[in-house]
Amino acid sequence: MTTLTDRYVFAALKSIPEENRDDIDRELRGSITDAIEARIDSGQAPAEAESTVLTEFGDPRQLAARYAEQPLYLVGPDLYLSWLRVLKLLLWIVGATSFVGVLVVRMAIEPQDPITAFSAALSACIGLLIQVAFWVTLVFAILQRTGVRRSSLGLKTWAPEMLPPIERHKQVSLADTIATVILLAFSIGLLLWQRVGSLLYLEGKPVLVLQEHLWNFWLPYLIAVLVLEAVFAVVLFAVGRWTLALAAVNLGVAVLFMIPALWLLATDQAFDWSFLSSVDWDVATARWIAGITAAAVVVLGLWDIASGFLKASRSDAQVVSTR
């Protein structure tokens, strides 16, 4: 019958190259035996001593990896930052170009269905991002497993001269700003599309979603407010942090959008319900849709306002604490 030590050594040697097994076998058995004898000399029973020592040595696969100098991770610390930098860059480039490209192509092919075009663009973007993450990680994992290091890839070795300048109290990232501007641009695009096409098609025919008279004033007004939101996002990024003054401006812009939008919904001047005769919806369903839309406007608007003041208070606290 084999002992626990025999089984432990056997498990450890399985993943070690055969030409190195004899030396590691002797070294490992010697270390285990010495540790067991030390515990027996201190009064511990042999079986208990053997079990305790093997528990302390840990998983034999981890021990074998240390002997063979084989990493138990996909990307180690030497290549990790390079992997992360390349991955972020490619995700931004591929994500933005794929989304815009697919959206433009689908809108050109099926201009009557912008919602489907947006869904297809989003789906293609997510699929490509997953592919990019997988293949970049696979390449770096192979480099890690084959022993490639930063120096052999021609990557710069870190030096103090590479330290970035100090940017105090920077709260607003470029990524957040870009995402905000893209979302606002898409919202503006949907409103403008209502002028030349439609957001809803029934049996291949365009259906008005918003009332036509809104183009006399309210839709241009709301589009102008959304443009103002985008300008505010850029200014906020340039400042670098929230202040009470900027939070107050954000409050004003939010109110400029919320009050007219809620008034139009409350007075039934927003949606054109003439298409109800072509579907199985009743007036109660229409009112429910208007109510959900109004609730969304309120919740998102109040959250945006509260978030601005909360971030401004935190920013002021940080400024005071660093003085």
Contact 70, 53 (CB under 8 A): no
Structure tokens at 86: 């390349």
Alpha-carbon span 59 to 56, nearest angstrom: 9
Query: What length is written for the chain?
Result: 323
The residues facing 202 across adjacent strands are 205
Determine the pLDDT at residue 1: 38
pLDDT winner (highest mean) among 10-19, 102-111, 240-249: 240-249
* pLDDT tens readout for residues 178-190: 888 888 888 888 7
Q: State the Cα angle at 228 between 303 and 92, rounded to 5°.
A: 75
Instruction: Enter the DSSP assignment of 278.
Output: G
Structure tokens at 116: 């489907």
Cα dihedral 191, 260, 209, 177 sign:
positive
Contact 177, 237 (CB under 8 A): yes
**Is the pTM for the entire model greater than 0.85?**
no
Instruction: Enter the DSSP assignment of 155.
Output: P
pLDDT, average across residues 223-228: 94
Contact 63, 57 (CB under 8 A): yes
Instruction: Enter the DSSP assignment of 72.
Output: S
Type of residue at 301: G
Confidence of residue 114 (pLDDT cuts 50, 70, 90): low
Determine the pLDDT at residue 249: 96
Query: Nearest Cα to 116, choosing from 198, 195, 188?
Result: 198
Q: Using alpha carbons, list the distances in angstroms from residue 68 to 32, 33, 34, 131, 258.
A: 18, 21, 22, 32, 65
* pLDDT tens readout for residues 275-305: 666 666 666 777 888 899 999 999 999 999 9
Alpha-carbon span 155 to 81, nearest angstrom: 11
Alpha-carbon span 61 to 49, nearest angstrom: 21
Alpha-carbon span 217 to 195, nearest angstrom: 13
